[in-house]
Structure 1
């Protein structure tokens, strides 16, 4: 069975997609031919794939190895930790996050098993019936909730000890955050760097990172209030935390897909 898996890109027609009427940047691909073409491209470029299972924060960094169009199966490399591989094989809900030409790709599967390829253990999963594509070629940015905003906790040394300032986020991406500059202690001048900042993503976990203030400019809020927005960039964001943000962003935007 393994010998029937293709490792070359098949000829396919032009891309087709269904985009959310609320946000044309978010598209769900349903065409099997297009899905296979995208997966082949990711596989040939050996792009890193993050596999989450059973809606937990456990994940495996892996890559695609081969596609079998006849059996609608996809071969995925095993991870480096045997215990996580074993947990994945017991799972019924699998989420894959990767990218194609710097565009984020996400798809889900509900079946997984173990197989052999080139004398090594690999995962076999069913080809996805659809996949989500974030159209922008850079970090996709979402507006964070207004009533219950995400917060960035920034530790500031003081004479009394370490003071933790809480800053409400107005937007978030894998590249950084946008905040309102009105905190009496934090200086949001471009070039300022704050270490050991923490952001909690509900349902996903904590982000721990350094940030650098890159830009500031005036904005008008929905209530008419004039204030300053500061754009901050993550510094050396760990891969696992970038993946958490990717998952949060995709889950947030996925609710806008109405087709």
Structure 2
């Protein structure tokens, strides 16, 4: 978890006080561990929620066994928290942390956050793209390869990036290689323009014994409008898949 991470996920913010209280209660009831990190420091404290008081706007956390760590948490203006609930990642920032007692033992009290980030499984889940009508990604080619744009079909898409199929082994698949100004033509949604950075590459043998290269790429500097288009397309693919499954059942 990075300090800037909360700033990157505005689209997944929950602002409903009732929903935030309910989520915190579920995290506490399921005894999910929470990683607390003081902003700007590497020190991490692992804790859990003991109680949530929605009326008072406060929740109670187990305190660290390290006295100095507790003191630093209390003195900090802001503490970043990260946990999971039913495999959904939850991030929030708390302030106003104070030492308190809970059922006769030392604990920490914090203000219930005004908002939190709830990252659905879909943000990490790769959705296969159609094989019969492939989604093309147009990647600018270097001059020594003739310049212009070459088209590569997508193998899958997620909110983090795409996998390209490079059947002719044209692309530089070195990890960290970045392709700028790529255009992905999403059917019925529109064109998404973004940079793509290579994160992994795998050579696969197809059914016809030809070799293809699958290149996993991460979106780099993608705008919020383009990310919203990607999310709409993933939702569309999910609806179509669910409709097919419903038809088969």
- RCO higher in structure (CA 8 A, sep ≥6): 1
Bigger Cα Rg: 2
| Higher helix residue share | 2
Q: TM-score normalized by structure 1?
A: 0.48
